[in-house]
């Protein structure tokens, strides 16, 4: 029985491999491997796609978050509110600046931060909010931006899993002060290695991001800040530039796949399972279901036996990670987050996933849980 992987990065290469090869060879022949026109062109095209006036490329989505925090002068003594149900980088980058991550519980139906709980957490040390558009779905940015404006807080959007997603017709990454994107291979717009981008409509912030990613140096060998070496290489920029025009098509395919999963799961009427709510603006980086308490790990193991590979994002919330014991959080502080961490299972999801493969996933789930 053929394996159904959680994501198949090779299929995009099969579609547009000739164009990717040509782009890669052109960079190799140019001798311009760091920076240059290829990178600046991609920055411009990506910013135009998101709808911002500036795009600043960097080495990874993690670096994008860290550089954004630094560009907004967030550091020692400051607090930044974010989600405990996300990849570690969201909180890690806050800690790297010397600031303190403050967690807020999530909504069960969206897996995103519960914006209604934000105001109670704001103190005189709060400097920013970092909404994470998890699994491709936007946080409620209307409510969040109203709160940020009321308390004069920065908003750094973690868009790593949501390239192309919209909220009320506006692309994420063009709503807050800075949008931060990842081009890790499994993302909706994935490269052939690490890569990241920061988007903003503020020229001053964009200029500082440019300087910080180049060792804090506005002019070679002259340094204004303690920066870092975080550049997107020309080869990745060239490959991503080839892929960018296909992104809307791939995201549309993801929406079709998510709708089909939902339809199949409804028809199957599987007990002890909850599937994600439909969201037109989502780009469905993951299709994540929740399985009855105590059953998830066994279900995943049985699916694996049938060559269906699923993922658990995320098994342990950030507030219960050993490294954050010093923050003083305890089990029970964020009940919704803790509950979903015990139950979430991400089904195979990529634009080329076939109807036959989806049928097999759902039929197998039905047999396991019936």
Q: Could you write out the DSSP letters of every residue in 37-83?
A: HHHHHHHHHHHHHHT-SEEEEES-HHHHHHHHHHHTT--TT-EEEE-
Q: Distances from the Cα of 327 to the Cαs of 95, 99, 253, in angstroms? A: 11, 12, 42
Coil, strand or helix: which one is 280? coil
Partners of 170 in beta bridges: 167
Q: Six-digit token pair at 340?
A: 């979903």
pLDDT of 282 strictly over 90: yes
Give the pLDDT of residue 122: 98
Backbone angles phi, psi at 214, to 5 degrees: -115, 55
Task: Compute the average pLDDT of residues 25-37.
Answer: 95
On the CB side of 259, CA atoms within 13 Å amount to 11
Give the pLDDT of residue 355: 98
Give the pLDDT of residue 29: 97
Residue 28: which pLDDT band, with cuts at 50, 70 and 90?
very high
pLDDT per residue over 224-249, tens digit each?
999 999 999 999 999 999 999 999 99
Cis peptide before 314 (omega within 30 of 0): yes
**End-to-end Cα, the chain, rounded Å:** 22
Q: Six-digit token pair at 319?
A: 């507030």
DSSP letter (8 states) at residue 278:
P
CATH of region 10-246: 3.40.640.10
Give the pLDDT of residue 185: 97
pLDDT of 362 strictly over 90: yes
Helix and strand totals (H; E) in the chain: 11, 12
Residues with Cβ < 8 Å from 272, sequence gap 6 or more? 291, 292, 295, 369
Cα 229 from Cα 67, distance rounded (Å): 11
Task: Compute the average pLDDT of residues 154-182.
Answer: 98
Task: Compute the average pLDDT of residues 256-285.
Answer: 96
Give the pLDDT of residue 246: 98
Residue 33: which pLDDT band, with cuts at 50, 70 and 90?
very high
Give the pLDDT of residue 130: 99
Domains 10-246 and 247-369 in one fold? no
pLDDT of 352 strictly over 90: yes
pLDDT of 1 strictly over 90: no
Class level of CATH domain 247-369: alpha beta
Residue ranges of the domains in the chain? 10-246, 247-369
- In 10 A of CB 147, how many CB atoms? 17
pLDDT per residue over 96-145, tens digit each?
999 999 999 999 999 999 999 999 999 999 999 999 999 999 999 999 99
**Percent of the chain at pLDDT exceeding 70:** 100
Do 307 and 2 meet the contact criterion of CB atoms below 8 Å apart?
yes
pLDDT per residue over 307-330, tens digit each?
999 999 999 999 999 999 999 999
Do 59 and 286 meet the contact criterion of CB atoms below 8 Å apart?
no
Average pLDDT, the chain: 97
pLDDT of 370 strictly over 90: no
Residue 67: which pLDDT band, with cuts at 50, 70 and 90?
very high
154-158, strands of its sheet edge to edge: 54-58, 196-200, 178-182, 154-158, 126-130, 79-82, 100-103
Give the pLDDT of residue 293: 83
Question: Which member of 187, 208, 249, 367 is catalytic?
Answer: 187
Q: Which residues of 70-83 are buried (b: 16+ CB within 10 A; e: fewer)?
A: bbbebeeebbbbbb
Tell me if residue 266 is catalytic: no
Do 39 and 86 meet the contact criterion of CB atoms below 8 Å apart?
no
Do 121 and 105 meet the contact criterion of CB atoms below 8 Å apart?
no
């Amino acid at each position: 029985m053929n394996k159904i992987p959680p994501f198949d990065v090779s299929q995009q290469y099969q579609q547009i491999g000739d164009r990717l090869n040509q782009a890669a060879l052109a960079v190799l022949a140019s001798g311009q491997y760091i920076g240059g026109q290829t990178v600046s062109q991609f920055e411009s095209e990506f910013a135009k796609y998101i709808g911002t006036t500036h795009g600043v490329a960097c080495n990874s989505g993690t670096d994008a978050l860290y550089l954004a925090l630094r560009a907004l002068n967030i550091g020692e003594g400051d607090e930044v509110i974010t989600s405990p149900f996300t990849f570690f980088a969201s909180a890690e980058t806050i800690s790297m600046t010397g600031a303190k991550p403050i967690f807020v519980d999530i909504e069960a139906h969206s897996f995103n931060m519960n914006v209604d709980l934000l105001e109670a957490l704001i103190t005189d040390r709060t400097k920013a909010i970092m909404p994470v558009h998890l699994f491709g779905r936007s946080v409620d940015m209307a409510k969040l931006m109203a709160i940020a404006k009321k308390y004069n807080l920065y908003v750094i959007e973690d868009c790593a899993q949501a390239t192309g997603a919209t909220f009320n017709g506006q692309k994420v990454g063009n709503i807050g002060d800075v949008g931060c994107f990842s081009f890790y291979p499994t993302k909706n717009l994935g490269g052939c290695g690490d890569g990241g981008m920061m988007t903003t409509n503020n020229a001053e912030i964009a200029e500082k991001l440019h300087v910080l990613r180049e060792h804090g140096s506005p002019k070679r060998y002259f340094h204004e800040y303690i920066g870092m070496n975080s550049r997107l290489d020309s080869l990745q920029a060239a490959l991503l530039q080839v892929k960018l025009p296909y992104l809307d098509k791939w995201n549309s395919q993801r929406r079709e796949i998510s709708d089909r999963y939902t339809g199949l799961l409804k028809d199957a009427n599987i007990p002890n399972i909850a599937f994600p709510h439909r969201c037109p603006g989502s780009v469905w980086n993951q299709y994540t279901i929740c399985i009855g308490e105590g059953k998830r790990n066994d279900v995943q193991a049985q699916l694996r036996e049938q060559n269906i590979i699923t993922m658990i994002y995320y098994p342990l919330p950030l507030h219960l990670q050993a490294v954050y014991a010093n923050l003083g959080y305890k089990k029970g502080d964020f009940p919704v987050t803790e509950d979903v961490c015990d139950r979430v299972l991400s089904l195979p999801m990529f634009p080329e996933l076939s109807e036959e493969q989806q049928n097999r996933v759902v039929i197998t789930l039905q047999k396991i849980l019936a």
